[in-house]
Structure 1
Amino acid sequence: MSQPAFSSSSSTGHALSATQLAAAPPEAILDGLDEEQRLAASTLKGPLCILAGAGTGKTRAITHRIAYGVRAGVYDPHRLLAVTFTARAAAEMRSRLSALGAPGVQARTFHAAALRQLQYFWPVAIGGTMPQILDHKVRLLAEAARRLHVTTDRAALRDLASEIEWAKVSTLTPESYLEVATAEGAGRPAPGGVDHRTFAKLYQSYEDVKLDKHLIDFEDVLLLNVGILEDDERVAAQVRQQYRHFVVDEYQDVSPLQQRMLDLWLGGREEICVVGDAAQTIYSFTGATPDYLLGFKRRHPEANLVKLVRDYRSTPEVVKLANSLLADRTRESVKLTDPAPWPEPLQLISQRERGPVPKLIQHADDDTEAGWIASEIKALQEQGVPLSEVAILYRTNGQSQAFEQSLATAGISYQLRGSERFFSRREVREALAALRTSSLVDDAGDAVSKSVRDILSSHGYSAKAPEATGAVRERWESMAALVALADQLSTEREDFTMRSFISELEERSAAQHAPTVEGVTLASLHSAKGLEWEAVFLAGLSEGLMPITFAKTQKEVDEERRLFYVGITRARKFLFLSSAASRHTGGRGRRTPSRFLRPLRKEMGMEEPGRKIIPSGGPSPNASGRKKKASTCSTCGKVLTNGTEVKRRRCESCPARYDEALFEKLRAWRSDYAKELEVPAFVIFTDATLEVIAERRPTSDEALLKVPGIGERKLEKHGDRLREILNEI
């Protein structure tokens, strides 16, 4: 059974509403799933392991599994706990479950679930007042260092805090840490500029300071909860009575401490479903390990195993590069005399139509690279790609400055992921307060979107974006994100009211589940996990940055390869890979492109660096050794190099081949439609796309999808209105 094509792995195609699902038989929930997703969703009992590659719809599969189990009477929604790793992912899961008719299911992070249990059982199991949770370790660590007369700076304190976190999630005490860190072959670097023995003393001193001040830290929440479950059988029995079934997302990221708590929750039972992909393990430095995912079948011999390999997110061109990157390590591991463990990766199969060839290019210096990226983003914007669908990803946060400067110079708005949280912004807090106190809270249906616009107009919102930059533009983008969310929810949800919108915002605020802000996303590769964009720029792909210079062992380099793989698989359609030979303009150009680019160049038919580097947008030899056929003008035969000319299939100077009267009618329709949606006209379709429509006069979905500039997403969003105008004409 094939799954309807859609542009994002999080899409659900033409899904039934919650009301329709409630009236339909339980099996209706499985409609629209592909064969493997359906197998996973319909396997309701016993241990289940789902190996899900990037973009294969794992969240779709597990939410449909839960909803189907609830509708079929196998699961009590109040006795099933779904666990994931971020508040955003948990909020997304709850939202999907609610839409599927299973609103009572608990979807939480490991820490949120543990904290809830700890707060509930503390009075009975421990007694007294529960300690306050410490937000940051640095201040207490500084005091612990002073007690031991150890000199540290702020950077060293951050490293020491990270090492404490790793030790705790690895279930190591100050005493056992020293034994493990100094064991032969451990390879654990000394943290924060101190030796392992001194760190163990600092670790113990930190614990003493914390105890004196009646505080606990983030990791203590799990440790204390584990302790209660292990020591008090009455508490453990009550938790096991409450939760009979478990689902764990991103299982490749569990730590020994989280697995220990999961085992205590289960109490020997096997009603558990885990989902993960070992190729996306990128948090080993925090204690995460894929060992539990890879060893699930050994721990649960009766477990069912389902592999999801159909990629609905990325084009074949992007998927091919991702597969090549992992396959290169697989080939390499055969040659290594002492290879690090490297499980056979999932071979993804793209379900999307072909897209543009990724671009791979080396620049002279960082500023040139940043300027090129800004110009490419401008070109994408002209093609109708929203800025919110563009991301620049890099290995370290220190790399963002050059990109910030180039985007600002080009007048392109952007947002730094990992900076101030959306719901913590002053203008957003003021907007939420205005919405709560408005006299329009009883509005429902389409009136909600209008009411939100009216209320936020006094807080910086307008239908047209301001030309100003800085604080004015940032305020407008925040308000526009709230308006866009209101539009989206009013379309998706039945009986949508202003009260339900405010409730949604409050829930998102608690979970820090921010709406989309119109601007290019700048983010580190680690912070991009779990996200996706139409266009992704992977920048700074030089040795020393990718892999990072401190990745010395094979195991550490392997993690860098997986991190790069995660970056590639964030892209849906457009992928750009770039590096710079020098940091500064006029530098000696000593940097070399990342070793991870070699298999990608080979896949793309490009020459190795040292000879001429050919950007993928230009002609390059293919696997057969022949030159790739260039795009030419359909009138004069001239080779086309401009993106707009390629889309039109003619050069600017040649006469148009389309029906000019039809083109003008299409432009007039687009202008009216854009005003109705309150978006720029080019966001709907560019002039080049309208020209092709006027030339080909497509009448079916298949024909429309062959028009450059119309993908599945735009067809779903604007297709009905476009067909109406074409039929009228």
Structure 2
Amino acid sequence: LVCADGDDEAGRVARDIVHADPNLVRAGEIAVLARTNAQLGAFETALQDAGIAVRRSAAGKGTPLSAAIRQVTALGSASQLRAWAHDTLEAVDALHAARAEQAEARQETARAAARADRAVDDLEAERRVAAALLEFLRDQPLGDGAGFRAWVAINNPFDDRSNGGVELLTFHAAKGREWHTVFVTGVESSLVPHKSATTVATRAEEGRLLYVATTRATDRLVLTAAERRAGYARTVSPFIAELDVTEPEALPPPSALRRRRRSVDPLLAALRQWREETARTAGVLPAQLCSDRDLSAIAARRPATAEDLAEATTFGTIMAHRLGEQILPLVDAARARQRDPQSKSTMTGA
């Protein structure tokens, strides 16, 4: 989708989302990805003008959370991470003092109030990072700062996913995430590859970054570019210039396939039933409890222990032990049924 300029691009993406399934917006299953944070402002404005809820990453560039995460990333060992987390959480007096100053500053100048607000935001962000850091260390006792940063990128512990809306993220921030529909925007010269990429190695890294962005969609992917941005003429990114993006002709399936009924793995069917019932009880969407990819991995690998379950899925050790109490009996029942086809054991979620 080639647009006239950045504003036209944002408007056309917003109009597309207006006509999308509203359930996808409510479930947070639509994302707009950009190479830089600077591009996202136009999309946020266009979506809000169209009455569409928007979610920006709580740990995005320039936020107090991102500053705290940078502090932690510089630490080189698990012991240093653990010490930083405990020191931060135990510094309750500093937070109380900052809040007291904040209350007093509101009676003074706007500048003093803003300074006090920033101090409180910074301390609260550090406490949130410290709590997440201890959770990371429970999962990876020997982890370091770089490992924590990767864990944050994959698990997104600071974003509230209970509220719907279109997510706005950079290509980097989208790593490890998936959505039903993804708009990869600004796929044009000076952005993809970024103008700062002047060597073969950095251009190759830009190509890998675009690959990450374009593989975040499970069902629908839309690539957009602008002919002009910030007053300068642009061309479609060389990474996609030679792609054939014409709509293929829809052909009916062969008659043999039309007559053949697709067999469904009984274990996968049981896992889907468990997910539906458990999600309904918890008041969450099924995909928020367990992704289709994880269900398929469980059905294919048939883990026998919580450790096997953690290895086969994206759950992590703690979540694998928690959900394993419900999932592993289903796997055991499927295994028993495979050994004894006459077995009357049923595979239903508890």
- Into which bin does the TM-score normalised by the smaller protein fall? 0.3 to 0.5
Structure showing greater relative contact order (alpha-carbon pairs closer than 8 Å, 6 or more residues apart):
2
Whose radius of gyration is greater, 1 or 2?
1
Q: TM-score, normalised by structure 1?
A: 0.25
TM-score by length of 2: 0.45
